[in-house]
């Protein structure tokens, strides 16, 4: 890993929070992700399963975490099963996690090699009645590929049919959505790296530059700051490309008079940042561009103030819709007839602002969170309104990451990233 290690205190607290919600005489199992093949002997870079990382800090393939708070032997209440390391592996792949490293990273003192898993797991299962399996139940999840965890769950249910099976996911959805102070510190690092990259491209952008060149400049800064890179596939969309919500080809040349929409964020220690900014290619907004930009920025500022404890998710989006409707009327993009004839299931403002305003952010860009529950302090949300006008070749989105606080309004983790028109123009011309 190239990032600075997070204190094991975070992972110790996370496990304590999780096991406190387990049923009596139950154990829970978490597996690392697969290393996915590309072809021949090539593989994709390894990405750790976020749940095992959240509970252990272990960032290594073929790892298994078992939590059994009621185990007869105290040493079996928290166990890491790890890929066995040796001198040969150390030469070819680098040293793997051993007992000492597991204690330092995770605060877990019991480590076994994977070859001993079945034998020890049989003993643990004979002492338990319930078993928690790890499943992905995010509302945006795609299940087109069978994961290592899914294969393990099939094996577990088939080999231990007398156990009661429970799901870890509902517990983790609640826990992961409310951030520990150490998590917020790490998210701030990711946002600070994103800030450095944005300031870099403000100096670099000019007519004739290519979108992929801007992507390269951003990646350069991310890597220089110990990030693994982009937290998600970057969007660098100039001109009409900015009206395509998930444009990711980043292949066009940026023309004088156009805007460029950036939707990018650095990852740091697996924690994601998510920023959107829109800037003029030539460093100067036109009057029309300013008019629309200011409207989006007003909605962002007003929507941000709604991120308070006990706010209802659905009602929040209704209120943001009212804000955007007012701005679109002011821009003459909508009129009262449009409002009177709108379909309540797809309000008139959705013609120009068709996506949601916010999502949880944390270990995943679209992080876990129970949307039917009121918002809570220390949850972290994006706020990202936009206006998209294809026939004017204008797409403007502005996005920050904010921490809900008990009082006093949200805390903006991207407060230092330029967003006001005057500051952007000054920096681009300095």
- The answer to whether residues 313 and 356 touch, using CB atoms and an 8 Å cutoff, is no
Has residue 71 been placed in a domain? yes
Has residue 215 been placed in a domain? yes
Q: How many residues does the chain have?
A: 430
Has residue 68 been placed in a domain? yes
Q: What is the CATH number of the domain that holds 35?
A: 3.40.350.10
- Tell me which residue range forms the domain holding 90: 8-176
Q: How many CA atoms lie within 13 A of 5 on its CB side?
A: 15
pLDDT at 181 over 90: yes
Q: Are residues 111 and 98 in the same domain?
A: yes
Q: Are residues 163 and 310 in the same domain?
A: no
Question: Which of 145, 160, 176 is where one domain is finished?
Answer: 176
Confidence class for position 333, pLDDT limits 50, 70, 90:
very high
Q: Are residues 134 and 240 in the same domain?
A: no
Question: Which of 176, 211, 234 is where one domain is finished?
Answer: 176
Helix (H) or strand (E) holding 216: helix 211-224
Q: Are residues 200 and 274 in the same domain?
A: yes
Q: What is the CATH number of the domain that holds 278?
A: 3.90.230.10
- The answer to whether residues 400 and 412 touch, using CB atoms and an 8 Å cutoff, is yes
Q: Are residues 80 and 114 in the same domain?
A: yes
Has residue 1 been placed in a domain? no
Q: Are residues 269 and 350 in the same domain?
A: yes
Number of domains observed in the structure of the chain: 2
pLDDT at 422 over 90: yes
Mean confidence (pLDDT) of the chain: 96
Dihedral, CA of residue 358, residue 363, residue 367 and residue 372, to nearest 10: -110
Distance CA 207, CA 280 (A): 9
- Chain-centroid distance of CA 44 in Å reads 20
Q: Are residues 213 and 348 in the same domain?
A: yes
Distance CA 252, CA 240 (A): 10
- Nearest alpha-carbon partner for 263 in 421, 419, 398: 398
- Chain-centroid distance of CA 137 in Å reads 15
Q: Is the dihedral of CA 369, 374, 380, 382 positive or negative?
A: positive
- Tokens read off for 162: 């007398």
Q: Are residues 167 and 264 in the same domain?
A: no
Has residue 106 been placed in a domain? yes
- The answer to whether residues 65 and 52 touch, using CB atoms and an 8 Å cutoff, is yes
pLDDT tens-digit readout, 289-324: 999 999 999 999 999 999 999 999 999 999 999 999
Has residue 51 been placed in a domain? yes
Q: Are residues 70 and 218 in the same domain?
A: no
pLDDT at 51 over 80: yes
pLDDT tens-digit readout, 141-153: 988 899 999 999 9
Has residue 102 been placed in a domain? yes
Q: What is the DSSP letter of 389?
A: E
Has residue 3 been placed in a domain? no
Q: Are residues 332 and 248 in the same domain?
A: yes
The predicted pLDDT at position 197 comes to: 98
Q: Are residues 191 and 155 in the same domain?
A: no
Q: Are residues 19 and 153 in the same domain?
A: yes
Q: What pTM value is reported for the model?
A: 0.96
Question: Which of 176, 198, 228 is where one domain is finished?
Answer: 176
Helix (H) or strand (E) holding 43: strand 42-43
């Amino acid at each position: 890993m190239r990032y600075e290690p997070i204190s094991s205190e975070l992972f110790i607290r996370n496990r304590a929070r999780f096991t406190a919600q387990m049923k009596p005489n139950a154990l829970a199992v978490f597996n690392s992700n697969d290393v996915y093949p590309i072809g021949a002997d090539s593989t994709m870079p390894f990405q750790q399963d976020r749940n095992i990382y959240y509970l252990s800090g272990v960032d290594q393939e073929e790892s298994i975490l078992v939590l059994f708070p009621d185990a007869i032997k105290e040493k079996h209440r928290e166990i890491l099963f790890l890929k066995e390391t040796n001198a040969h592996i150390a030469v070819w792949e680098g040293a793997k996690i051993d007992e000492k490293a597991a204690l330092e990273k995770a605060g877990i003192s019991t480590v076994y090699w994977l070859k001993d898993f079945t034998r020890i797991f049989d003993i643990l299962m004979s002492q338990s009645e319930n078993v928690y399996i790890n499943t992905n139940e995010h509302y945006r999840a795609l299940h087109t590929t069978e994961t290592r965890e899914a294969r393990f769950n099939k094996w577990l249910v088939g080999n231990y049919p007398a156990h009661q099976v429970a799901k870890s996911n509902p517990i983790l959805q609640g826990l992961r959505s409310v951030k520990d102070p150490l998590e917020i510190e790490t998210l701030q690092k990711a946002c600070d790296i994103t800030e450095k990259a944005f300031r870099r491209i403000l100096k670099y952008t000019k007519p004739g530059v290519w979108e992929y060149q801007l992507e390269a400049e951003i990646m350069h800064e991310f890597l220089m700051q110990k990030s693994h890179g982009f937290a998600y596939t970057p969007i660098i969309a100039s001109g009409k490309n900015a009206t395509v919500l998930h444009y990711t080809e980043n292949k066009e040349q940026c023309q004088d008079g156009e805007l460029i929409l950036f939707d990018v964020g650095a990852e740091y220690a697996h924690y994601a940042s998510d920023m959107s900014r829109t800037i003029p290619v030539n460093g100067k907004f036109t009057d029309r561009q300013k008019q629309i930009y200011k409207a989006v920025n007003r909605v962002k500022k007003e929507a941000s103030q709604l991120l308070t404890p006990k706010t209802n998710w659905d009602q929040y989006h209704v209120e943001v819709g009212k804000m955007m409707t007012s701005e679109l009327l002011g821009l003459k993009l909508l009129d009262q007839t449009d409002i009177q004839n709108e379909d309540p299931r797809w309000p008139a403002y959705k013609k120009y602002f068709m996506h949601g305003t916010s999502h949880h952010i944390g270990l995943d860009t679209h992080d876990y969170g129970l949307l039917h529950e009121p918002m809570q302090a220390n949850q972290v949300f994006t706020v990202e309104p936009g206006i998209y006008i294809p026939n004017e070749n204008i797409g403007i989105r502005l996005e920050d990451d904010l921490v809900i606080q008990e009082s006093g309004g949200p805390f903006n983790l991207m407060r230092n990233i330029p967003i006001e028109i005057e500051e952007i123009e000054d920096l681009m011309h300095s």
